[in-house]
């Protein structure tokens, strides 16, 4: 087992074909989920007729700016952790130098990367946030009441690539290639999980907010933040 996990074949597979697979699943799965939801919304007759760009943006802005909504102000710690977490989760992998190097090797494209120390810091922030979310699930009764095993799984899916990436980069663990392999594997799992788990909220967030924001603005003449 250990030999397999550290084998060059697995490494090559995860670095090559599996990346294609993961991105394909992520992209096509996400597109499929979004399109099927948009189609289904037609059956829900009351969604499209009320959609409104101004109020969709109003809603999105208030929920994308830290403390822009009343509930964020009521939960300052959650707000800080949630924003730090989402920033880290999205920005770090995209602007990480080793990732950009891979893109450059394969496609010849490159872009600005985060300084190493900042990238490191953001990774730690993501992991700390994951720990925070985990502890919240365990100790906050209102969250525990609605927590299912899948909720822990989702935290694990997100935390794993960051943890293994951090360990691999700093070569904390003896076997460097094992960590890289685990990192790639977990990263690919996370990508593929997005369309098929509640991580899908990275897309549905925009759609639901647009609907709710429009409802409140156009019809209810109230604020949803």
| Binder among 4, 111, 146, 149 for other proteins (CB under 8 A) | 146
| Binder among 115, 144, 171, 173 for other proteins (CB under 8 A) | 144
Q: Which one, of 80, 66, 42, lies nearest residue 211 by Cα?
A: 42
Q: Does 1 bind other proteins (CB under 8 A)?
A: no
Looking at 62-70, 101-109, 117-125, 159-167, which segment touches other proteins (CB under 8 A)? 62-70
Looking at 24-32, 67-75, 89-97, 172-180, which segment touches other proteins (CB under 8 A)? 67-75
Question: What is the contact mask toward other proteins in residues 6 to 45, using x (rule: CB under 8 A)?
Answer: -------------------------------xx-xxxxxx
Q: Does 220 bind other proteins (CB under 8 A)?
A: yes
Q: What angle do CA 110, 162, 146 make, to 5 degrees?
A: 130
Q: Does 158 bind other proteins (CB under 8 A)?
A: no
End-to-end CA distance of the chain: 52
Q: Considering Cα of 56, then 62, then 65, then 66, what sign does the dihedral take?
A: negative
Burial (Cβ within 10 Å: 0-12, 13-18, ≥19) of residue 99: middle
Q: Which one, of 92, 106, 99, lies nearest residue 20 by Cα?
A: 106
Do 25 and 188 meet the contact criterion of CB atoms below 8 Å apart?
A: no
| Binder among 2, 4, 8, 141 for other proteins (CB under 8 A) | 141
| Binder among 107, 145, 149, 174 for other proteins (CB under 8 A) | 145
């Amino acid at each position: 087992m250990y030999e397999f996990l550290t084998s060059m074949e697995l490494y090559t597979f995860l670095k090559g074909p599996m990346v294609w697979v993961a991105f394909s699943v992520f992209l096509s799965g996400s597109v499929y989920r979004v399109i099927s939801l948009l189609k289904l919304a037609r059956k829900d007759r009351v969604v499209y007729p009320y959609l409104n760009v101004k109020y969709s943006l109003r809603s999105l802005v208030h929920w994308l700016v830290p403390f822009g909504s009343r509930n964020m102000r009521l939960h300052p710690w959650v707000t800080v952790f949630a924003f730090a977490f989402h920033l880290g989760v999205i920005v770090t992998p995209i602007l990480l130098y080793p990732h950009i190097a891979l893109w450059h090797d394969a496609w010849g494209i490159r872009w600005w990367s985060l300084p190493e120390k900042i990238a490191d810091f953001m990774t730690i922030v993501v992991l700390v946030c994951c720990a925070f979310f985990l502890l919240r699930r365990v100790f906050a009764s209102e969250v525990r009441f609605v927590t299912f095993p899948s909720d822990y799984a989702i935290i694990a899916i997100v935390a794993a690539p960051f943890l293994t990436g951090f360990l691999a980069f700093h070569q904390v663990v003896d076997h460097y290639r094992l960590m890289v392999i685990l990192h790639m594997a977990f990263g690919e799992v996370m990508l593929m999980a997005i369309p098929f788990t509640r991580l899908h909220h990275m897309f549905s967030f925009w759609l639901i907010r647009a609907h709710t924001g429009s409802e409140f603005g156009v019809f209810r003449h109230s604020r949803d933040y």
